[in-house]
Amino acid sequence: MSATIPKGILYLTAGADCQADRLVYLVVGWGKGRECWLLETAALHGDPREPMAWEELAQATVENSWSFAAGGAMKIGRMLCDTGYHWEETLRACKEHWSGGRMLPCRGVGADKRKTVGGGPIIHSEHRTKHPPYVMVVNVDVNVAKDQIAQMLAKTEPQARDSFTSPAAQAGHRSAALTSA
């Protein structure tokens, strides 16, 4: 079990980025009106070409639970792992730690590489790889994602919530709740 989380959280997501010598992840709790909390962020040092690095990532994320102070626990509902570095290792790890479709490989795609043009959803398509390991890869429209994040950041101060300091904030990282009107 990880740290206690605020009662306003309704859903947990996570993201992971593969670097040459480590895996970096974050866990975000989501509430009403797109309010969000950065709950955890960490760098897991080790060679991402080795299965042990991915096992450690899975244990810290999709196989972990976050608990509420009043009781009850929640698991990550969806996790996206960027395939931009160590493509095959990321695909294999996501296939191994599939967790009922909760740990998925993804890749960022700009508007120039999309089949359709114009505003659309952030996650606009999925495709199956043509070579082993066969797995679905989620395409994330980075242009739409950046626009939506910029709109959320342009909003006024978030509504006051329960007092909560995330482990990331305790470690000196900036943590904020974002809302949309």
Whether 168 is covered by a domain: the verdict is no
Residue 120 is part of a domain; what is its CATH number? 3.30.420
What are the residues facing 80 on neighbouring strands? 15, 104
Whether 128 is covered by a domain: the verdict is yes
pLDDT beneath 50: ranges in the chain: 115-118, 124, 162-181
Residue 139: the pLDDT is 78
Residue 17: the pLDDT is 93
Residue 121: the pLDDT is 52
Residue 180: the pLDDT is 34
The answer to whether the CB of 81 falls within 8 A of the CB of 16 is yes
What separation in angstroms does the CA of 124 have from each of 43, 115, 120, 142, 155?
Answer: 29, 10, 7, 11, 25
Residue 26: the pLDDT is 94
Whether 53 is covered by a domain: the verdict is yes
Residue 83: the pLDDT is 87
Total structural domains within the chain: 1
Whether 170 is covered by a domain: the verdict is no
The verdict on pTM exceeding 0.85 is: no
Question: What percent of the chain is predicted at pLDDT more than 70?
Answer: 70
Whether 176 is covered by a domain: the verdict is no
Residue 52: the pLDDT is 94
Whether 23 is covered by a domain: the verdict is yes
pLDDT per position as a tens digit, 13-39: 999 999 999 999 999 999 998 888 999
**Host domain of residue 139:** 4-159
Whether 64 is covered by a domain: the verdict is yes
Question: In this structure, what are the phi and psi dihedrals at residue 5, rounded to the nearest 5 degrees?
Answer: -115, 155
Whether 171 is covered by a domain: the verdict is no
Residue 165: the pLDDT is 46
Task: Report strand pairing: 73-74 vs 66-68.
Answer: antiparallel
Question: In this structure, what are the phi and psi dihedrals at residue 171, rounded to the nearest 5 degrees?
Answer: -85, 5
Phi-psi region of 146 (alpha: psi -120 to 50; beta: other; left: phi over 0): alpha
